[in-house]
Amino acid sequence: MGLLDRLSGLLGLKKKEVHVLCLGLDNSGKTTIINKLKPSNAQSQDIVPTIGFSIEKFKSSSLSFTVFDMSGQGRYRNLWEHYYKEGQAIIFVIDSSDRLRMVVAKEELDTLLNHPDIKHRRIPILFFANKMDLRDAVTSVKVSQLLCLENIKDKPWHICASDAIKGEGLQEGVDWLQDQIQAVKT
Amino acid sequence: MAAASSSDSDSGRAESNEASSKWLDAHYDPMANIHTFSSCLALADLHGDGEYKLVVGDLGPGGQHPRLKVLKGPTVLTESPLPALPAAAATFLMEQHEPRTPALALASGPCVYVYKNLRPYFKFSLPQLPPNPLEQDLWNQAKEDRIDPLTLKEMLEGIREKAEVPLSVQSLRFLQLELSEMEAFVSQHKSRSIKRQTVITTMTTLKKNLADEDAVSCLVLGTENKELLVLDPEAFTILAKMSLPSVPVFLEVSGQFDVEFRLAAACRNGNVYILRRDSKHPKYCIELSAQPVGLVRVHKVLVVGSTQESLHGFTHKGRKLWTVQMPASILTMNLLEQRSRGLQAVMAGLANGEVRIYHDKALLNVIRTPDAVTSLCFGRYGREDNTLIITTRGGGLIIKILKRTAVFVEAGGVVGPPPAQAMKLSVPRKTRLYVDQTLREREAGTAMHRTFQTDLHLLRLRAARAYVRALESSLNPVSVTAREPLKLHAVVQGLGPTFKLTLHLQNTSAARPILGLLVCFLYNEVLYALPRAFFKVPLLVPGLIYPLETFVESLSDKGISDIIKVLVLREGQSAPLLSAHINMPVSEGLAAA
């Protein structure tokens, strides 16, 4: 790191980079959330199902996020584990209106938490209980119950109710994630 | 017994506990109020939005209020009443145009109701059949008031008993009526011409000219008057008509209508008929030993479930491949197809609340449900590919999702022939003698058989003669004379030179005691010495066994043994009642000394 870089880092001009994994079942709204977090001139209008994964970047007040937006389709879910090592935080998106597949989300979350690359790391996990605008959506409290989030003892986690289309609840989640990452760093 | 225990151990292996189960319990509602069969369940993306819905032709509680229900996730999306009980539900693509949303067909009574986008689109009715002329004539007479309802009833009953052409619905309803209601019924219905229509028993889909997943399909109907009909997907005209010897209840099709197809129809007479494209009549027939309860095609194997609690596998030409026994009777069957792994298996819902999944003969998995399963359906539901939908007898709905990581492995190594069968036996080479003998046996088979039979008869005769002689001279240890039914049984104990000889004497008569018997031993006095060679037997009470003991001293030191004869005599008679020959053992004590 050059002198100039260090100087700008101290002054807060250059933001720290963090790698974040964005996981969740297909059609839960991962890409929409990431899209909404990008500056408004970089947002794309129509969101299509992600194939494999895509890398997106956005900035918060003090961090620069590099997000691995993974595809949630069943056949691509086995790709997730290859990126666990690099991730410094996880965003897990849940479709609150899909009551039937809540068990699938729980199953995937349990597999994630029991993976050797994740299990012994104190890695912050942010849950978005997405699609709160839909009529049959369940509350974020109910989602955390259904996913048994209270059993996560060794990692900081936080659940936010969100509506990715309108962008509600996203900033709250990102702020929490930023605080957690900085707390881990210092 | 052995089969039952082995199947139990199989289920123990295939069944997994909660943590390592292959299934996720997505939903269970015991009060979902869904009463249906596997044929009335269908999964399809009805709105073209990627969300697969479940179509249920619901019979209603007690078959009272038939309804068409469409479920999205665990909730009912729409519900509409049906005019008659549903027989089958199917989804199919009607045309090539975009958007490619599948149509829904529901067979009920004599009609197929076709829905597009969940709105009624077309109603196909089966063609009318010619009515019985006698019946027609009777109703014409009733129209002109020439016969009264009672006579009409009697005449119609006569037709129902004898005629080959069955009665129309109108006449059948008339025959059910009470006397008081008949008059009104006749006056109301006499002006209408009678119609005879058959009903649909089963329905399935058949691809028209492409084998693709999203190709246009024809509907195939099975009817109560023993016919199979293939309908055009767009115009709903009858493209082909085939007749069967019995009423079809389950249908399985493969192939394409315009190219080549095979139809398998399980019928009410307990046979499965296989038809091909050009055949108007069945080409092959599988005769089952019991009634079929389900028919599923797995790749090229037809799997038939029968009322004898078993699954049978057949080839497309009707050759039997295997049979698997179930622990309880089969209620329903369906196909499990896991596309991502290319697996096809049969699911069978049993009366004991189990769902068993078989790949050919091998048991893959057992799911236990709280109630007996009446219908099963596996496929894409909502956005999840491998979803299993189960409905139970009590109207419950169970939705299970197959885990992404789950792999079905065949439980136990019972697949294929046992390993011993593959072992090569060291069969000796065919010798000259062997060949000659075989040739001789082939040529003179009859003569050899005759000789054998003669010898056998001679042997039997000789045995019978010896037996008679033994009976006459009372040489046997059981006396069957009417006055003294006795049984004797002797035991020798000890190593020698002194042996203990115990005679067990039993009076086998029902009530009468026996008095005045004597026991006498005959032996070689050089070899043996007995303290008492002749003694009286006490009174023998019926049924009890009397042990009579005596000691035998072996005198010889040369290791020789002899026979001691025991005679049971009656006082004042010289002929013995019973006799027994006791083979004395060699005196070992003396030999050792």
Residue A30 marked as a ligand binder: yes
B75–A contact, CB cutoff 8 A? yes
pLDDT over 90 percentage in chain B: 31
Residues of B in contact with A78 (CB under 8 A): 404
- List residues of A whose CB lies inside 8 A of any B CB: 25-27, 74-75, 77-78, 98-104, 107-108, 111, 136
Neighbours of B193 (CB within 10 A): 11
Given a cut of 50, whether residue B6 has pLDDT beyond it is no
Burial class for B127, CB neighbours closer than 10 Å (0-12, 13-18, 19+):
exposed
Predicted TM-score (pTM) of this structure: 0.69
Q: How far is A39 from chain B (nearest CA, A)?
A: 30
Average pLDDT estimate for B416-428: 75
Number of domains in chain B: 2
Residues of A in contact with B404 (CB under 8 A): 74, 77-78, 104, 107-108
Chain A: residue whose CA lies nearest to B28:
A100
- Residue B202 has a pLDDT of 93
**CB spacing of B384 vs A104 below 8 angstroms:** yes
Q: What is the per-residue pLDDT across B143-186, written as a single tens digit (0 to 9) for each?
A: 777 777 778 788 888 887 876 777 777 788 888 888 778 778 87
A102 annotated to a ligand binding site: no
In the predicted model, what is the mean pLDDT of residues B328-350?
A: 91
Residue B550 lies inside a defined structural domain of this protein: yes
Cβ-defined contact of A107 to B404 (cutoff 8 Å) = yes
- pLDDT at position B16 is 45
In a domain, B544, yes or no: yes
SS3 state at B176: helix
What was the pLDDT predicted at A13?
Answer: 58
Q: What structural domains does chain A harbor?
A: 12-182 (3.40.50.300)
Q: Please indicate if any CB of chain A lies within 8 Å of the CB of B341.
A: no
What is the pLDDT at residue A12? 57
**Where residue B537 falls among pLDDT bands split at 50, 70, 90?**
confident
> Mean per-residue pLDDT for B61-90?
88
Residue with the two structure tokens 């469409």: B70
Mean pLDDT computed over A52-56: 90
**Residue B158's domain spans which residues?**
133-190
Mean pLDDT of chain B: 85
Mean pLDDT of B242-266: 91
HEC profile of B425-487? CCCCCCCHHHHHHHHHHHHCHHHHHHHHHHHHHHHHHHHHHHHHHHHHCCCCCEECCCCCCEE
Within a domain: B220: no
Task: Tell me whether residue B287 is in a domain.
Answer: no
Give the residue from B190, B212, B234 where a domain finishes. B190
Distance from CA of A76 to the nearest CA of B (A): 11
Structure confidence by residue, pLDDT tens digits, B397-408: 999 999 888 888
Q: Do A136 and B25 touch (CB under 8 A)?
A: no
| pLDDT tops 70 at residue B475 | no
**A50 marked among binding-site residues:** yes
Question: How much is the average pLDDT of B361-372?
Answer: 89
Report the gap between the CA of A57 and the closest CA in chain B (Å).
29
The residue with greater pLDDT, A166 or A10, is A166
Contact assessment for residue B301 and residue B315, using Cβ atoms and an 8 Å cutoff: yes
The residues, ordered by sequence, that sit 6+ positions from A166 with a Cβ below 8 Å of its Cβ are: A133
Inter-axis angle of helices B133-143 and B169-176, nearest 10: 60
The CATH number given to whatever domain includes residue B575 is 2.60.40.1230
Residue that terminates a domain, selected from B144, B159, B190: B190
For the residues of B297-335, what is the DSSP string, one character each? Answer: EETTEEEEEETTTEEEEE-TTS-EEEEEE-SS-EEEEEE
Which pLDDT value is given to residue B414? 52
Q: What amino acid positions of A are annotated as catalytic residues?
A: 73
Average of pLDDT values for A17-38? 91
User: Do the chains contact at A100 and B382, CB–CB below 8 Å?
Assistant: yes
Residue B383 in contact with partner chain A when CB distance is under 8 A: yes
Position B143 scores a pLDDT of: 78
Q: Side chain identity at B333, as an amino acid letter?
A: M
Question: pLDDT grade, residue B382 (50/70/90)?
Answer: confident
Is B214 within the bounds of a domain? no
pLDDT for position B292: 92
Residue B15 binned pLDDT confidence (cut-offs 50, 70, 90): very low
Nearest Cβ partner for B399 among A26, A100, A107: A100
Q: Is the pLDDT of residue A107 over 80?
A: yes
User: Which residue, among B75, B76, B78, B107, has the nearest Cα to B90 in the 3D structure?
Assistant: B107
Q: What is the mean pLDDT of chain A?
A: 87
